Amino acid sequence: MDITIRPALPAEYATLGALTARAYLDDGLLDFGESDAYLGELRDVAKRAAAAEVLVAVEGDPPSGGRLLGGVTFVPYGGPMADLAGAGEAEIRMLAVDRAARGRGAGEALVRACVDRARALEGCVRVVLSSQSSMRAAHRIYERLGFVRAPHRDWNPLPHVDDIMLLSYELTL
Question: 54: alpha, beta or left, given left = phi > 0 and alpha = psi -120 to 50?
Answer: beta
DSSP 84-135: S--TTEEEEEEEEE-GGGTTSSHHHHHHHHHHHHHHHSTT--EEEEEE-TT-
Quick: pLDDT tens for 131-161: 988 888 899 999 999 999 999 998 777 666 6
pLDDT above 90 for 25: yes
Residues forming beta bridges with residue 59, ordered by sequence position: 3, 67
Whether the pLDDT of residue 2 is over 70: the answer is: yes
The fold adopted by the segment(s) 3-172 is Aminopeptidase (3.40.630)
What percentage of the chain has pLDDT greater than the value 70? Answer: 93
pLDDT digits (tens, 9 = 90+) for 89-126: 999 999 999 999 999 999 999 999 999 999 999 999 99
> Residue 1: pLDDT band by 50, 70, 90 thresholds?
low
